[in-house]
Structure 1
Amino acid sequence: MLYFWLSLAFVAGMMMPLQAGVNSTLALHGNGAVWASGISFLIGTLTLLGVVLAMRYEVPLPAQLKQAPWWAWTGGFMGALFVATGAFLAPRIGAATMVALLVAGQLIMSVILDHLGWATFPQHDINLGRILGVLCLLVGVVLIRMN
C-alpha cells in the first residue's frame, strides 16, 4: 500500500506544472490569471462535490467545524495563491524554473513542519540528511535556471 501512496504523490506532483500551463492558457483567453484561477477552483469544487455525492460522505456538522483552529480555514487562501501564482508565472519563467522554485519552497517548509510536528504532521527532527537534501535542491534550482 505504501508504494501506492508514494506513486499517488508522484503523479499528483506531475500535475503541478501541467495545471499551471493549463490555467495559464485559460488566463490568456479569459482576462488574466485571477479569473482563470477562479474558474479552476469552480471546476475543482464541482468535481469534489461530485466525489462527495458519489461516495456518500456525511456533511460535517457546524459544531464539528467550529472546533477547528482558525488557521485550519486558511487552506483555500493558500490554494488560491498557489494556483494564481502558477498561472501567472508559467509563461514568464517557464515550467522547470517555476516548479523548481515551488518544490524548493515546499521542501523547506516541509522540513520545518516536520521538525515542529505542526498541523497534523508527525514530528521528524531536522538532521544533516534533510539539510543536505534541501541544499541539493537549491543547487538544482540554480542549475535549472542557468540557460
Structure 2
Amino acid sequence: MWSLYALTIFAGLANAIQPGQNATLSKSLGLPITAGLLTLLVGTTVLLVGGLALGKLELPTGQQLGQVPWWAWFGGFLSVLLILAQLYASPAIGAASFLGIIVTVGVVVSLVLDHFGWVGFQVHPASLWRIAGAVLMVIGVGLVAVF
C-alpha cells in the first residue's frame, strides 16, 4: 500500500511540474496544438516501451472491449482537456493558481464521485469533515489566486 502512496506523491510532483514543461514546449515551438500532440506522443511512447519492457502490454479481446462502459472511453478526451489548459491557462495565471484550481476542483468533484460511487469508484460518503476540508481548500486557493 505504501508504494501506491509513493506513486501518488510522484504523480503530484509531476502534476505541479508538467504544466510549465508543456507551456514552455508550446511557447518554444509557437505551436500550442502541436505541442499538445507531441506531449501525448511522448506519453504514448513511454507507455508503449515501458509496457513492452515489463511484458505487461497486451491487446484486449473483443469481449473485453465490449465490457467497457461507454463513459470509460472519454479518459483520453479529458487528458487532452488538461493538456490544453496547461498550454493556455497555466502561463497566464501562474503555477500556484493553476495547480490550486486543478487540485481543488478535483477534490470537490471527487467528493461527489465518491459519495455516489460514480465512474467506477467505491462509495465513500461525503462526511462533514470531508466537506469541511474541501471548503478550506476552496478558501485556500482563493487566497493564493488573489494574493
The TM-score with structure 1 as length reference comes to: 0.93
Distance 1:56 1:15 in 2: 25
Q: Which runs of 5+ in 1 are unaligned?
A: none
Q: Deviations over 1:37-74 (max 9, x none)?
A: 11000000011010121122222113211221111100
- The equivalent of 2:111 in structure 1 is 111
Q: Which moved more, 1:94-103 or 1:31-40?
A: 31-40
- The equivalent of 1:86 in structure 2 is 86
Distance 1:6 1:53 in 2: 25
Q: Which runs of 5+ in 2 are unaligned?
A: none
Aligned letter for 1:104? Answer: T
Q: Which moved more, 1:84-93 or 1:94-103?
A: 84-93
- The equivalent of 2:27 in structure 1 is 28
Structure 1 residue 120: deviation in Å?
A: 2.1
Distance 1:89 1:104 in 2: 16
Aligned letter for 2:130? Answer: R
- The equivalent of 1:123 in structure 2 is 123
- The equivalent of 1:101 in structure 2 is 101
Q: Deviations over 1:79-117 (max 9, x none)?
A: 010111112112100000000000011001110110011
1:32-111 equivalences under 5 Å are: 32-57=31-56, 58-111=58-111
Structure 1 residue 17: deviation in Å?
A: 2.3
> Identical aligned pairs, as a percentage?
35
Distance 2:32 2:62 in 1: 33
Distance 1:32 1:91 in 2: 15
Q: Does the residue aligned with 1:119 lie in a helix, a strand or coil?
A: helix
Aligned letter for 1:22? Answer: Q
Q: Please provide the CA RMSD for this pair.
A: 1.2
Aligned residues between the structures = 146
Distance 1:105 1:37 in 2: 22
The TM-score with structure 2 as length reference comes to: 0.93
